[in-house]
Structure 1
Amino acid sequence: MELTEEVKELLIKTANELKGSARRLFMARTVRALGEGGQRRAKEELGWNRATIRKGEHELKSGRVCVDAFKLRGRKRSEEHLPNLLKDLITIVDGQSQADPQFRSTRLYTRLTAAEVRRQLITTFHYTDAELPTAVTITTKLNALGYSLRKVAKTQPQKKLPETDIIFEHLKQVNEEADAQDSTLRLSMDAKATVKVGPFARGGKSRVLTKAADHDFEAKATVTPVGIFLPASDEFFLYGVASKVTSDCLVDRLVQWWESVKERFSHIKTLVINVDNGPENHSRRTQFMQRLLEFVQQYQIAVRLAYYPPYHSKYNPVERCWGILEQHWNGSLLDSVDAVIQFAKTMTWKGNHPMVELVTTTYQTGVKLTKEAMQGVETHLQRWPSLEKWFVDIMYSLPVGRDN
């Protein structure tokens, strides 16, 4: 039987498109059709492997098909023989990751290199160098988990205090201790940029014809989302504030949230609050500290403030929720306060909708304590040495004359 070039090309292409026993049987039948010396001709003219042909002839003769264990071939994924690897990767990277400052992406960007992550896996979780995958593989796995090993460049150079790295080290320690203690609950709190209510374009895309005003004239109203996020349980509470966001406003939202969950968290003795160093809530803001002290005394629960350093507020976990919200409502018109609230209610974080409430209380700006009054508040505060602005404990103490 003569094999023309066209026939050879057809046989080779057909064999390549088949897999497993179907491929071997096709090769065996072809060799039979070639007659005497078929195996030799198939090897020389078609490039087929003789061992594969013989296996196909055995299957053809016996009628028994050999099952191919394709899943058992190749190198196994690292997480198959290191079952805790992905969880440990998240533990290392998550606290050192920030949201996109412009909310253009929901990915997280970390300060750590893949080599540093690998080193911490060895020193912190006691993996051996031999059993761990390479830094390139770790990069791939982190990308699949939603983390990118690069910084996000802003339009202006990032500023960095000399204490920035030390603050991050203490933050990591404080957060890990809080998450490990049953009597401590960690929450992340922050206000998003104020949303203008009106027929304004938001830069998103939509499959529905949406027409926005060609200029952003004066807004009908404004809504400032204030969020409280619980990293341990991925719960998100969102409050749409129609007034200015002040120190009183932020603490009122803390009170409002605690009133809604305190029965569920009756065992909690300490709240660790991750916040940025904003003008309404920094640790030298007298009205903010006074209101927090009142909160501690009213609910008999300790509060530990753990601040992110300046220009690094996007590392605060609640910022990730803002990224999701921005992606969720971009491309739509937020032309009423109700539209803002309804869009917030329909967003999802880790598959769950947030608890959303509208706040219409009007807050007065510029409220502050006298120096003498603030000195009295300071007697109830414990500031960490050398990091006084960034870590503050407000402890509850029984009034004099009362027993424990």
Structure 2
Amino acid sequence: MNDFPGYDETHEQTMRLYARSLPEDHRRRYAALEALKIGYGGIAYVARVLGMSRRTLYTGIQELESMGEGDPQDPQRPSGEAHRVRRPGGGRPPLIERQPEVNATLTDVLDAQTAGSPTDPRVRWTDLNPMRLTQALLEHGIRVSRNTAATWLEHWGFRPRALRKELITGVVDPVERDAQFRHIAALRRLARMKGAPVFSVDTKKKELLGRLHRRGRGYGTAAQAVYDHDFRHLATGRLIPHGVYDVRLNQAFVTLGTSRETSAFVCDAIALAWETHFAPLYPNATELLLLFDCGGANAARSLRFKEDLIALSQRVGLRLRIAHYPPYTSKWNPIEHRLFCHIEQAWSGLILETPESALKAVETTRTQTGLKVAARLLDKTYELGRKCSESFRSMKDRFIRHDARVQPCNDVALRSTL
């Protein structure tokens, strides 16, 4: 009877660590050698310590015994080749190779459940998933697992794919769109030469206030509880985040409105940004270059917006140079990928119960590339449906000078005085 009590915990941990460093065939022969050294009960003990099955240890013992049959000066690996761990040719051949009729049945099932694009032969889709494919094949007497069905779908090029927003709903001339981008680039170079500020301006998506769920995670000792549904009536209010981003200085000012997004709100937010943050940085400025998206409250063709811009020009005492990005290109506006994405990360996993809590998170937004963000609340009520005045329609050309029609959206220059 073997009275071997077992190694101490430190030695067992060393055995496990060393075994994990070995390839598969060396690992089982090492385990077999340890078991043979212990003697009776060694196989059960080593199998428990190293987490192996007894069958694996028996295989290792057989390999140790067969190593002496060849050249003792040059023992071979069980695979027969120095660079291989396992013998070639192991495993069952795939079902399609063992039963060729399965491939024909699979082709018929996929063809019946597949549709394709009439203009692009590379684009095809199917309403089958691995589970439905296994059920369809089972109706033909072929039983396979979901993993096998998923492998077959991937072999045919079918993978889980999300819909991609690429189709344009309007009419866009790529030549005109490219010309507008070049025009904006020229305006930015000209403003840089003059020392004039270049502001990228836009309104971020509206945010609901209250104990509502937000995507993302934050550090904490326990999860915070929020409502199980994000119904609008559960919100205690909403925020309209408006940003003014200085392209050259990499600084931004965010206005958190609590009413509505209107052209008056946009202009008030720009004025607030200039008066409280940017004016001291540009004491000699006589002109501002403002980059807008083509639609929304700051639409290129909105006379109400242009009337508010003239009031803004009079308020700040500066000439305004307006440039709109072409339709369907709002994501090229620098503020989108230089400011709003970082604000979204700052709000990630936070409960925005009050405007003040949202404001505090915005003010802490920083990046390693030097982005700095200032923010203010604008608790003012704005009305919808406001129309352009008739007096402005009759005299707007005295204030506005249009550029050549580079794109469907006209860029304009506005002056504050007649």
Matched, 1:225 2:241: yes
Q: Distance in 1 between matches of 2:216 and 2:289?
A: 36
Task: Say which of 149, 155, 165 aligns to 1:155.
Answer: 165
Matched, 1:235 2:276: no
Do the aligned partners of 1:192 and 1:224 also contact (CA within 8 Å) in 2?
A: yes
Q: CA deviation at 1:361?
A: 0.5
Q: Distance in 2 between matches of 1:174 and 1:352?
A: 23
Aligned to 2:207: 195
Aligned to 1:210: 224
Q: Which amino acid aligns with 2:197?
A: L
Q: Which amino acid aligns with 2:412?
A: V
Aligned to 2:352: 334
Q: Which amino acid aligns with 2:165?
A: T
Aligned to 1:25: none
Task: Say which of 262, 266, 273 aligns to 1:246.
Answer: 262
Q: Taking structure 1 as reference, are residues 346 and 278 closer, same or farther at Cα in structure 2, changes over 3 Å only?
A: same
> Residue by residue, what CA displacement relative to the aligned partner does 1:182-225 show, whole Å, maximum 9, x if unpaired?
2x211111110000112222221234323332211221100111
Q: How does 1:291-306 map to 2 (within 5 A)?
A: 291-306=308-323
Q: Which amino acid aligns with 1:286?
A: L
- Determine which structure has more spread, i.e. the larger CA radius of gyration: 2
List structure 1 segments (4+ residues) > 4 angstroms apart after TM superposition.
none
Q: Which amino acid aligns with 1:392?
A: V
> Residue by residue, what CA displacement relative to the aligned partner does 1:265-311 show, whole Å, maximum 9, x if unpaired?
22111110001122211232222211211232344321111111111
Q: Which amino acid aligns with 2:225?
A: K
Task: Say which of 278, 292, 298 aligns to 2:295.
Answer: 278
Q: Taking structure 1 as reference, are residues 371 and 165 closer, same or farther at Cα in structure 2, changes over 3 Å only?
A: farther
Q: How does 1:134-145 map to 2 (within 5 A)?
A: none
Do the aligned partners of 2:181 and 2:325 also contact (CA within 8 Å) in 1?
A: yes
Q: Distance in 1 between matches of 2:354 and 2:286?
A: 40
Do the aligned partners of 2:359 and 2:377 also contact (CA within 8 Å) in 1?
A: yes
Q: Distance in 2 between matches of 1:199 and 1:394?
A: 44
Q: Taking structure 1 as reference, are residues 239 and 297 closer, same or farther at Cα in structure 2, changes over 3 Å only?
A: closer
Q: Distance in 1 between matches of 2:247 and 2:312?
A: 22
Q: Taking structure 1 as reference, are residues 258 and 153 closer, same or farther at Cα in structure 2, changes over 3 Å only?
A: farther
Higher RCO (CA 8 Å, separation ≥ 6 residues) = 1
Give the unaligned 5+ runs of structure 1: 1-151, 400-404
Aligned to 1:307: 324
Task: Say which of 157, 179, 185 aligns to 1:166.
Answer: 179
> Residue by residue, what CA displacement relative to the aligned partner does 1:158-196 show, whole Å, maximum 9, x if unpaired?
4561121111111111112212222x2111111100001
Q: CA deviation at 1:327?
A: 1.6
Aligned to 1:346: 364
> Residue by residue, what CA displacement relative to the aligned partner does 1:56-108 show, whole Å, maximum 9, x if unpaired?
xxxxxxxxxxxxxxxxxxxxxxxxxxxxxxxxxxxxxxxxxxxxxxxxxxxxx
Aligned to 1:175: 188
Q: How does 1:98-109 map to 2 (within 5 A)?
A: none
Do the aligned partners of 2:326 and 2:409 also contact (CA within 8 Å) in 1?
A: no
Aligned to 1:256: 272
Q: Which amino acid aligns with 1:323?
A: C
Q: Distance in 1 between matches of 2:266 and 2:191?
A: 22
Q: CA deviation at 1:371?
A: 4.8
Aligned to 2:411: 391
Report the RMSD for the aligned CA atoms in angstroms.
Answer: 2.2
Q: Distance in 2 between matches of 1:199 and 1:396?
A: 45
Q: CA deviation at 1:249?
A: 0.8
Q: Distance in 1 between matches of 2:212 and 2:166?
A: 26
Task: Say which of 338, 342, 355 aligns to 1:324.
Answer: 342
Matched, 1:377 2:391: no
Q: Which amino acid aligns with 1:250?
A: V
Residue identity over aligned pairs, in percent, reads 23
Q: Distance in 2 between matches of 1:194 and 1:277?
A: 18
Matched, 1:360 2:379: yes
TM-score by length of 2: 0.55
Q: Which amino acid aligns with 1:186?
A: V
Partner SS state of residue 265, structure 2: helix
Q: Distance in 1 between matches of 2:216 and 2:185?
A: 35
Q: Which amino acid aligns with 2:237?
A: A
Q: CA deviation at 1:263?
A: 4.1
Q: CA deviation at 1:352?
A: 4.6
Q: Distance in 2 between matches of 1:343 and 1:383?
A: 40
Do the aligned partners of 2:201 and 2:335 also contact (CA within 8 Å) in 1?
A: yes
Greater Cα offset, 339-348 or 239-248: 339-348
Do the aligned partners of 2:298 and 2:305 also contact (CA within 8 Å) in 1?
A: yes
> Residue by residue, what CA displacement relative to the aligned partner does 1:244-264 show, whole Å, maximum 9, x if unpaired?
011111111122122223344
Greater Cα offset, 221-230 or 163-172: 163-172
Q: Which amino acid aligns with 1:155?
A: K
Partner SS state of residue 166, structure 1: helix
Do the aligned partners of 1:383 and 1:389 also contact (CA within 8 Å) in 2?
A: no
Do the aligned partners of 1:309 and 1:390 also contact (CA within 8 Å) in 2?
A: no
